[in-house]
């Protein structure tokens, strides 16, 4: 009799625990793990990234988080730490000195150019070109694109039309970068930072981009 009572209590406890667990997990779904779901082509269609998912290194993630928290204060320290790598060479054109357009920067034969800035609705839209004059293709993950204002504040940005893989053909690949105007906070200029992925050998940093008033 005691044995039957123990078995019955165990079955009842297991059934109640299973039911409570199912009720607690109702409405919970698996998170979207696609890292480039916000990247779209020129027609606005989302791009799909083929192949295996490349994971970022833990140290790179920690460095990126510290840079975002510290804003402009940590920029000098990160530049000092990466002084062993090749520094990007900004184009010394007269237009760049006067903060006019176009503005460009080049590193390892890869060039980033801003050709236009205009307000469209509630967004500030930058017209940009990417050119690859090197001997091999370069890949980019635009979710890691950093846009900051002249106070060092990190802004949310969305890319359109820029290719994930830039072919070594020297042809301009046009695209757009959209930034909500509500986040500009009376900024006079913007800065862009873009790194290739996953090698992180190409460092493109362009500052002094005028904000259309």
97 falls within a domain: yes
Report pLDDT for 68: 72
Cis peptide before 184 (omega within 30 of 0): no
21 falls within a domain: no
Return all residues near 24 (Cβ < 8 A) that are at least 6 apart. Answer: none
For every residue of 44-95, which 3-state class applies, written as one string?
Answer: CCECCCCCCCCCCCHHHHHHHHHHHHHHHHHHHHHHHHCCCCCCCEECCCHH
pLDDT tens string 28-52: 666 655 554 455 555 555 555 455 5
Report pLDDT for 77: 47
> Residue 133 pLDDT more than 70?
yes
State what percent of residues in the chain have pLDDT above 90.
35
Give the pTM.
0.54
Pick the residue with more confidence: 95 or 116?
A: 116
Report pLDDT for 195: 92
Overall average pLDDT of the 133-161 stretch: 90
Asked whether 149 and 194 are in contact (CB, 8 A), the reply is no
pLDDT tens string 50-109: 555 556 677 778 777 777 776 544 444 445 544 444 554 444 443 333 357 889 999 999
Lowest model confidence (mean pLDDT) among 78-87, 104-113, 167-176, 183-192: 78-87
Q: What is the mean pLDDT of the chain?
A: 78
* Full domain range(s) for residue 163: 87-210
9 falls within a domain: no
Query: How many independent structural domains does the chain possess?
Result: 1
CATH number at residue 109: 2.60.40.1230
34 falls within a domain: no
156 falls within a domain: yes
């Amino acid at each position: 009799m005691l044995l039957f009572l123990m078995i019955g209590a165990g079955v009842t406890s297991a059934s109640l625990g299973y039911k409570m667990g199912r009720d607690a997990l109702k409405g919970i779904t698996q998170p979207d793990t696609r890292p480039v779901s916000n990247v779209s082509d020129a027609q606005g269609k989302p791009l799909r990234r083929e192949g295996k998912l490349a994971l970022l290194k833990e140290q790179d993630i920690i460095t990126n988080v510290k840079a975002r928290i510290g804003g402009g204060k940590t920029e000098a320290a990160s530049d000092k730490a990466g002084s062993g790598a090749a520094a990007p060479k900004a184009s010394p054109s007269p237009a760049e000195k006067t903060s006019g357009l176009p503005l460009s920067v080049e590193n390892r034969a890869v060039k980033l150019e801003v050709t236009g800035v205009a307000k469209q609705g509630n967004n500030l839209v930058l017209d940009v070109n990417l050119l690859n004059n090197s001997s091999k293709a370069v890949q980019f993950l635009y979710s890691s694109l950093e846009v900051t204002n002249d106070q060092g504040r990190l802004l949310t940005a969305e890319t359109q039309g820029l290719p994930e893989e830039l072919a070594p053909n020297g042809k301009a690949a046009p695209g757009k970068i959209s930034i909500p105007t509500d986040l500009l906070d009376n900024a006079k200029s913007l800065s862009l930072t873009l790194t290739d992925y996953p090698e992180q050998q190409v460092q493109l940093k362009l500052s002094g981009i005028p904000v259309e008033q």
